Structure 1
Amino acid sequence: MTPLPEDLPRMIGEDDRNAAVRRLQDAYTKGSISHEELDEGLHQVLNAEAHSELVSVLASLPEEHPGATSTIAAAGGRIRRRGVWRVPRVLKVESAFGRVRLDLSRAIIEHPVVDLELQLGTGRAKITVPRDAIVDVEDLHTGWKDTLYKTRRRSRPGGPKIRISGTMGFGRLKIRHAWR
């Protein structure tokens, strides 16, 4: 039986591979892993073909410094991130008015768990997550409209976990998985 396109593992690009190498090198420089662990990790990263293989190597590393937090804020207007961009361990998105669009489908996600904290007043928000991501919206509080999100029927292990928390006032959050 031929696998469906959604069953195929998410392939990695050079940016993903380079980010994983940097993370291993940083862990070695800080003394968190031994020389042997660095060699083994580099071998696995350089030979990895699927994103899940990178996640398994990086998951064995010590948790990064909790200071890896970034904030995107706008009083009005649009907040938009798409294409290839590096997703921090914790991303805070604050907007009083306007639309928010975050596309994580081609983003470089180096962490097995990413926390998105939303503080939105009015306006819509749309988040596109990688196809193999696991999404948790239990800590998100909506004031006016419910969140639009359907859990994937078939999810593969190894994808990043995206935890979405915070508060939305008068707007709707739509979350969808990328097609590729």
Structure 2
Amino acid sequence: MSDGELEPRRGAAARGNQRASDADRDRAVELLRQAVGDGLLGLDEFSDRVDVVLAAVTRGEVESVLADFPGMPLFPPEPPFSEPPALALRTANGSVKQEGKWVVPRRILTQCGSGRVRIDFTRAVCRHTEIQLKVVCTGSGQVHLTVPRGWSIRIEELSTTSGRVIDKAADPYVPGSPFIRVSGELASGRLKVKHPRDA
């Protein structure tokens, strides 16, 4: 490797080469004070290490003053992404809706008698390419879905007696966009799917 070239950054090495902020230095000094209080560090060594922290340019340099203290991570690992639980929207003869900015789970249940359930995906955050939506309508209720253009709806295993399905979301599917599979039971109610601003 020639002078001036940097090695590729990977994992912890990449983090160690990041620039240290004032908050990083303050956190390190606080941990050093904690080490003094726990009897792990003398005052002279504390002073020496604080000097290193204050002069540090990278996060790796800041972390080096804590390397021999187990259980004192300067930068704790970020928690993994948490999968939202299944969404259940139920009503007997009232009205319930899910709209605005929300996180879409993999599974959604809508259940109504003679009431109405509305789900608006327009501003929703969806990290899944496939969503399972179950519709259970035991009376004359209605389920309304508003989906962004480019999303796809497929009706699968939806039984009905005198109910109706009205699909007005006719725009072509955009590959990679969310795909909603609809199943369930529609007695004498109605399932309506539309794009935003449709009637």
With normalisation by structure 2, the TM-score equals: 0.53
Instruction: After superposition, give the CA deviation of every residue in 1:154-174 in whole Å (9 maximum; x if it has no partner).
Output: 332121001111111111111
SS in 2 for 1:138: strand
The corresponding residue for 1:159 is 177
In the alignment, residue 192 of structure 2 is paired with which amino acid?
K
The corresponding residue for 1:6 is none
Is the 1:132–1:158 contact (alpha carbons within 8 Å) kept by the matching residues of 2?
A: no
1:132 to 146, 150, 156: 150
Unaligned 5+ segments in structure 2 are 1-9, 16-81
1:71 to 79, 83, 88: 88
With normalisation by structure 1, the TM-score equals: 0.58
Tell me: higher relative CO, structure 1 or 2? Use CA pairs within 8 A at least 6 residues apart: 1
1:96 matched to 2:127? no
1:110 to 101, 111, 127: 127
In the alignment, residue 129 of structure 1 is paired with which amino acid?
V
Instruction: Classify 1:141/1:158 alpha carbon distance in 2 versus 1 (closer, same or farther; 3 Å).
Output: same
What is the CA–CA distance in structure 1 between the aligned matches of 2:11 and 2:187, rounded to whole Å?
A: 50
Unaligned 5+ segments in structure 1 are 1-33, 40-63
Residues paired across the two proteins, number:
120
Write out aligned runs for 1:1-180 (5 A): 68-121=85-138, 122-150=140-168, 152-178=170-196
Which structure has the bigger radius of gyration? 2
In the alignment, residue 136 of structure 1 is paired with which amino acid?
R
Identity of aligned residues (%): 31
Deviation at 1:114, TM superposition (A): 0.8
Q: Please give the root-mean-square deviation of Cα atoms over the aligned residues, in Å.
A: 2.8
What is the CA–CA distance in structure 2 between the aligned matches of 1:174 and 1:160, rounded to whole Å?
A: 18
